[in-house]
Amino acid sequence: MNKYFLILGLAVASFSVGCTENPSKAGSGKTAAVNDSSKQASDSSATSGEAAANSSTIDTALYNKKMLALANGDTTGRWPVKNTPYPKPGAILPFKRIVAYYGNLYSKRMGILGELPPKEMLSKLDQEVRRWEKADPNTPVQPALHYIAVVAQGDPGKDGKYRYRMPFKQIDSVLAISKMRKDMIVFLDIQVALSTIKDELPLLEQYLKLPNVHLGIDPEFSMKGGNRPGSKIGTYDAADLNYCSDYLAKLVRDNNLPPKVFVIHRFTEKMLTNYKNIKLRPEVQVVIHMDGWGEPDLKLGTYRYFVRNQPVQFTGFKIFYKNDLKKSPHRLMTPEELMKLKPQPIYIQYQ
């Protein structure tokens, strides 16, 4: 594989990050305890959509209508996914489309979130939000920051786990940046490397207790075979996802929170095994996110085979500002193009 490690320049430490790239496929690009930071849409109106998303009850008729609209005329029978539970009140999906900026504050090479100063980054995100509002005026946009809180790295570290937990002050900084825009949400993303999701997820609990903080996990860097991250593509099983969603569901119930959005990156078959065994819960909204880069046809094929053909609940799609331009036709896919997909992605991420 044509892989490489990105280097993060830290103020207090240096470590190399296993952020991999492979041009032969639609490839990827790509803490513990916490401090004192704890603290639905009609098809014709963004305003009514925001009211529905914040309602004390779920409008099941509207929910069904939105889910059918996301299926976008799919004729395979897979979408909308059958026998899924209605979400608890306050659910974001499918009433709003999440548009997120991804990255890490320590690196300008891991994504747009860390590449630009906060005000410039947020201004650029605002532009993407407006593009999506124009492409789909029936669905309000929920802006988000998707922050890599546990980073796979090339150095084994003292415990040999090849992952670096971001300092809490960095997570706090992302939360502070998110407050510069009204109602922005934050995702904390975990790359476990040779650690496990059961060891890493609980360390972020106080952040995940916040109503505006959600979860992402990256199978690419879940190295169950003991390989160094970046040397091969990792994997998660449905059992790992069920552990996460059960954990999140308990937080939602115990703290009277709105449902958590749970994003899982994917661009190969083996990154996610036994998808039919993934359990869905009213407290958690599961997004299988197409995390591949490359030319449009390659990205569409990845979405078709590994997201559309293996339905779970909701779908996502990533745009790489740089990697998607490497091959002909050297252009980024547009919101209008992505709106033609069956099903339509309801979570959009820019890196």
Q: Report pLDDT digits (tens) over 20-62.
A: 333 233 444 443 333 333 333 333 333 334 444 455 689 999 9
Backbone phi, then psi, for 97, in 5-degree steps? -100, 125
Q: Is the pLDDT of residue 102 over 70?
A: yes
pLDDT higher for 9 or 72? 72
pLDDT of res. 2: 33
The values of phi and psi at residue 228, to 5°, are -65, 135
- Write out pLDDT tens, residues 179-195: 999 899 999 999 999 99
Residue 180, sorted as left (phi over 0), alpha (psi -120 to 50) or beta, turns out to be alpha
The domain containing residue 46 runs over which residues? 6-350
The predicted structure's pLDDT at residue 57 = 85
Give a yes or no: residue 1 inside a domain.
Answer: no
CA distance 129 to 348: 10
**pLDDT tier for residue 14 given thresholds of 50, 70 and 90:** very low
Domain CATH number, residue 163: 3.20.20
Q: For residue 200, which of 209, 191, 187 has the smallest C-alpha distance? A: 191
Residues 125/118, Cβ–Cβ less than 8 Å: no
Count of domains observed in the chain = 1
pLDDT digits (tens, 9 = 90+) for 283-334: 999 999 999 999 999 999 999 999 999 999 999 999 999 999 999 999 999 9
Average pLDDT over residues 117-145: 98
- pLDDT at residue 18 greater than cutoff 50: no
Cβ neighbourhood burial of 17 (10 Å; 0-12, 13-18, 19+): buried
